[in-house]
A = this chain, B = another copy of it.
Amino acid sequence: MFSGTAVYALRAVVYLAEHSEERPVRVAEMAANLDVPQNYLAKILNELVHSEILNSTRGKHGGFQLAVRPDGLSLLAVVSPFDRIEQERRCLLGRSECSDHTPCAAHHRWKELGTQLAAFVQETTVADLLGN
């Protein structure tokens, strides 16, 4: 459903929500705990900084912190720099305009699934992923 990169981003954001309240968290610490390649994670975190989801501070005692409150951060916001999930809602058979003109029998249920997925990523926040 999500790309590997997007899942990394979600895991990282959850980790920061749980650990970066006070001090910034270093990439090395996160990479070790989340089992993500460190340099790759650094790039992902950097993109999240550009998306204004994280703050970063360089130098000694630097690291990453959440820039917004977890309950105001939707999964869609975290994931969208990496996955274009809006495109998931196309025709099952890849036809360009199946839906409007000549929907097949399965089309409506299929579209409903896409709608539910979209609602999930929009309405679910990082706060909903905490506490385990």
Q: Interface on A for B, CB 8 Å cutoff?
A: 1-2, 7, 10-11, 14, 75, 88, 92-94, 98, 102-106, 109-110, 113-114, 116-117, 120, 124, 127-132
Instruction: Tell me the nearest residue of chain B to A106, going by C-beta.
Output: B128
Residues in B neighbouring A106, C-beta threshold 8 A = 75, 120, 124, 128-129
Of all chain B residues, the one with the shortest Cβ separation from A89 is B1
Set of chain B residues within 8 Å of A2, measured between Cβ atoms: 92
In the complex, how many angstroms separate the beta carbon of A48 from the nearest chain B beta carbon? 16
Cα distance A127–B7 when bound, in Å? 35
CB-CB under 8 A from A128, the residues of chain B are 104-106
5 A-B pairs (CB sep. < 8 Å): A14-B93, A92-B129, A104-B132, A106-B129, A113-B120
- Given contacts A109-B124, A113-B116, A113-B117, are A104 and B129 in contact (CB under 8 A)? yes
In-complex Cβ contact of A11 among B10, B14, B94 (8 A):
B94
Q: A10-B92, A103-B132, A109-B124 are in contact. List 7 more A-B contacts (CB 8 A).
A: A1-B114, A102-B132, A104-B131, A110-B120, A113-B113, A113-B120, A116-B116
**Residues of chain B within 8 A of A110, CB atoms compared:** 120
